A and B are shown apart, each in its own frame.
Chain A
Amino acid sequence: MTPRKRAATSRLGAICTAISRLPRGTGTLIFLMIWEVLARISASSFVIAAPSQILDYSLTHAGLLWRAFITTLWAAARGFFWGNLAGILLALVATLLPRSERLVSTLALLVFCLPLVATGPILRVLFGPGDGPQVTLAALAVYYTTFLPVLVGLRAAPQGWFDLIRSYGRGRLIILRDVRLPAALPYAVAGFQIAAPAAFLGAMVGEFTGAERGLGVLTVRALRALDLPATWSIALLAAGVSICTFSAVGALGRRLDLAPPEVLLAAPVGNPSSRWTGAAQAFLALTVTLSVWHVAMQAYDLPRFFAKRPWDVWRFLTSDPAARAQLFAALSETLSLALPGYLAGLALGAALAMLLTLMPRLSATAIPFAIALRSIPIIASAPLIVWALGRGATGTITVVAVMIFFPTLVACRQGLARTPRAVLDIFAVYASSPIRRLFGAQLPAMLPAFFASARMAIPAAILAVTTAEWLATGRGIGALMATVASTSDYNMLWSAIALIGFAAVMSHALVSMLERWVLSRTNPEQLAR
């Protein structure tokens, strides 16, 4: 560090300590005052609600907010339970039947990528009134982020532990009980931690589609009426719940005295042994997806008018050129916004993570903040971001980037922290500059985490872009799905879902390929198994 930089950092530190020395609450007070002034200045642009307005709204509507909150929380809690149960069971199946892993992972990803905009209305038709859709969407929002870490945890055990159990002549059941399950526990807690805010978000989206009560209902009303104080109050409430549940699960994990998991996200699946097995697996996944889709609808005898079979989608797409053109135009518009946002979110997250290793003092304050922001539900932040930045490309791209930025930052930080101590010591012995250490030792250690978040960011980007289009900009495939859902154009809706699912799986495969290509050069040990 140059003397000037050091002086700057120490000045920053001095300001921090000065603020922390002020009487309790003074900092918050100053923050609120700045906020209030900003809101008053920008009142004409309808973006920021002032704290006083938010307080006023919350107090006058306390009863309403409370009842809505309890309704949503109850649906979210049940969705949390079922979703996590499903995630754990899927991970167990993929572990105990290793041959099924690829198929299970692909199907799990596919279902997770189904856009909430479209699944919401369909579930509403399926369930009718009541909170079935809310619970289902909450479950759908969480199972994947539990499935992945639990799968890693169940498999992450070193060979020696299995040898130990086997040397006593014990089999898979004991290995599961004494090795795999305890090893997976911290991974499961990490998954639950992400799942808790996600379940709340899922329940709120479920309420968008014709529920009678809940925070989601209030959100829709507030957005329609451009009621700024109400929108902000709900957003703050949702954010508060998310942060509280996130921290509560984290505290539970610490109480259980669990070692934090080594890798948060899934290690990549190894290369298929030949080109043919890869193609065969892709074909198998496609066949199974289409059969499950078809058979499930037949088995439950769902009405053909709204539950479209794969064949209906195919016929629709091949027979109606006008609709096809409309669909593809919407999809390409959406992708042209999702891709820059995706790349920007990843790049900024990784860049800030690296920057923070160069300034450890800053990271002590920045990281908890980032973790808290990560759990603010997208449906609360998306409309506000779009209102602030406009309905053009910038707003949507920012929503996507923000959605991806925080998880990437946190994951990359964890990756950087995994740099082996001994390697860092070598750089320290030669008194290398922090930059040199970063690129020589820490960056390679970060890459697996970076690629893992790049894979996880694909469903996140789809969720973000479709939500922004649906709630705020009114363009692209998100808005198209919302429109055709309300006009009961189910051919178009199912076609849109199928296309999005296809695009998601293809992007995932592309990122995985890139990941294997890079990691086989930088971190071959990650691909060993």
Chain B
Amino acid sequence: MTSGVQQDITLQGVTKSFGAPGRQIEAVAPTDLVLQGGSMTALVGPSGCGKSTLLRLISGLEVPTRGQIRIGTETPDQLRRRAGLAVAFQDAALLPWRTVTGNVALGRSLAHRPRDRAAVAELIRLVGLSGFERHRPAELSGGMRQRAAIARALAGLPELLLLDEPFGAVDELTRDRLNTELPPLWEARGATAVLVTHSVTEAVRLSDRIIVLTPRPARVAADIAVTLARTRTAEVLASDAFRAICAQVSQALRLHQASEGIPAQ
């Protein structure tokens, strides 16, 4: 299903509120966005601002209170029902009775892909879990679990990849390596990706575009294009342009951090 037809993600007036009527929590304020097909978009914002909620809306796991979302011409639900997307969850959500291999292989079988031991083993190697194939999640560190969850999400060869703070518990060194080795896996297939992250450098390094969100309810505070060469070589990462964009994102974050508690109207 690597059709190469890259579908834009369109959000029109999307809002999301939780809770009983009268005591509602607004997690996502009215949002209009178009995320270009085949690109990598990063969502950054303070914790609890509604990033995960936005991601769940795009995945179809959550239904917008108002507004609509389209991926190409499909609704998220339609895409989800034909197993066109995969989510790497913030808390890994590995099944504790399956081994690492079993969990990664589950990502293939749930996406209706035929069994392929070699592909599963290769993914496990890529996320740096070689030697842990037969371990259960309980025997892994938090970072290792997140890496297994990423491997599982990639295993189904999704058209749309949604990553919710996938490297949150991964140590700096490993994170650096994963940031180099993983993106080619979905870029080569032309998959669209949305990444939620806390790290400004990671956002700039991995994405083509960065959406900075305000504290809850989430709304777009800044929309920053990452005008860097697609392959982020060491030179690119050391460049002034890279640092300038990082500074721009940090400033946008700081600006809106300060307005927390004041109604963001």
A167 and B97 within 8 A (CB): no
A161 and B95 within 8 A (CB): yes
**Residue interface mask B86-97, A partner, CB < 8 A = 1:** 110101010111
A160 and B91 within 8 A (CB): yes
Q: In the docked arrangement, what's the CA distance between A438 and B87, Å?
A: 42
Q: In the docked arrangement, what's the CA distance between A178 and B105, Å?
A: 12
* Binding-face segment, B29-37, B75-83, B208-216: B75-83
**Residue interface mask A280-300, B partner, CB < 8 A = 1:** 000000000000000000000
Q: Tell me the residues in window 212-230 of chain B with beta carbons closer than 8 Å to chain A beta carbons.
A: none
Q: Is B110 an interface residue (CB 8 A)?
A: yes
Query: Which of A165, A169, A170, A259 has a CB less than 8 Å from the CB of B96?
Result: A259
**Residue interface mask A165-197, B partner, CB < 8 A = 1:** 111111000100011001101000000000000
Q: In the docked arrangement, what's the CA distance between A160 and B164, Å?
A: 13
Q: Is A417 an interface residue (CB 8 A)?
A: no
Q: In the docked arrangement, what's the CA distance between A183 and B106, Å?
A: 16
Chain A residue numbers with a CB within 8 Å of B95 are 161, 178-179, 182
Chain A residue numbers with a CB within 8 Å of B56 are 163
B97 and A169 within 8 A (CB): no
Query: Which of A161, A169, A185 has a CB less than 8 Å from the CB of B80?
Result: A169
Nearest A residue to B59 via CB reads: A167
Chain B residue numbers with a CB within 8 Å of A259 are 96-97, 138
B214 to chain A, nearest CB (A): 26
Q: Is A164 an interface residue (CB 8 A)?
A: yes
Query: Which of A168, A174, A258 has a CB less than 8 Å from the CB of B156?
Result: A168
Interface band, chain B:
20 to 34
**Residue interface mask B59-71, A partner, CB < 8 A = 1:** 1110000000000
Q: In the docked arrangement, what's the CA distance between A529 and B59, Å?
A: 24
B93 and A164 within 8 A (CB): yes
A161 to chain B, nearest CB (A): 6
A169 and B82 within 8 A (CB): yes
B96 and A167 within 8 A (CB): no
Q: Is B85 an interface residue (CB 8 A)?
A: yes
Chain B residue numbers with a CB within 8 Å of A160 are 89, 91, 93
A444 to chain B, nearest CB (A): 25
Number of interface residues of A (CB under 8 A): 19
Nearest A residue to B95 via CB reads: A161
B61 and A168 within 8 A (CB): no
B97 and A168 within 8 A (CB): no
B83 and A169 within 8 A (CB): yes
Q: Is B246 an interface residue (CB 8 A)?
A: no
Q: Tell me the residues in window 83-123 of chain B with beta carbons closer than 8 Å to chain A beta carbons.
A: 83, 85-87, 89, 91, 93, 95-97, 106, 110-111
B80 and A167 within 8 A (CB): yes
B153 to chain A, nearest CB (A): 9
A156 to chain B, nearest CB (A): 11
**Residue interface mask A222-241, B partner, CB < 8 A = 1:** 00000000000000000000
Q: In the docked arrangement, what's the CA distance between A107 and B248, Å?
A: 64
Chain B residue numbers with a CB within 8 Å of A170 are 83, 110
B93 and A174 within 8 A (CB): no
**Given A167-B80, A168-B80, A168-B83: A174 in contact with B97 (beta carbons within 8 A):** no
B136 to chain A, nearest CB (A): 9
Chain B residue numbers with a CB within 8 Å of A169 are 80-83
Which of B56, B97, B111, B138 lies at the interface centre, i.e. has the most chain A CB atoms within 10 A of its CB? B97
Q: Which 10 A-B pairs have the closest CB atoms?
A: A160-B93, A169-B81, A168-B110, A169-B80, A167-B87, A168-B83, A164-B93, A182-B97, A169-B83, A163-B61
* A-to-B contact residues, CB < 8 Å: 158, 160-161, 163-170, 174, 178-179, 182-183, 185, 258-259
Can you pick out 6 interface pairs between chain A and chain B where the beta carbons lie within 8 Å of each other?
A160-B93, A161-B95, A165-B110, A182-B97, A259-B96, A259-B138
A179-B95, A182-B97 known; 6 new pairs, CB 8 Å cut-off, are: A160-B93, A161-B95, A163-B56, A166-B80, A167-B80, A169-B82
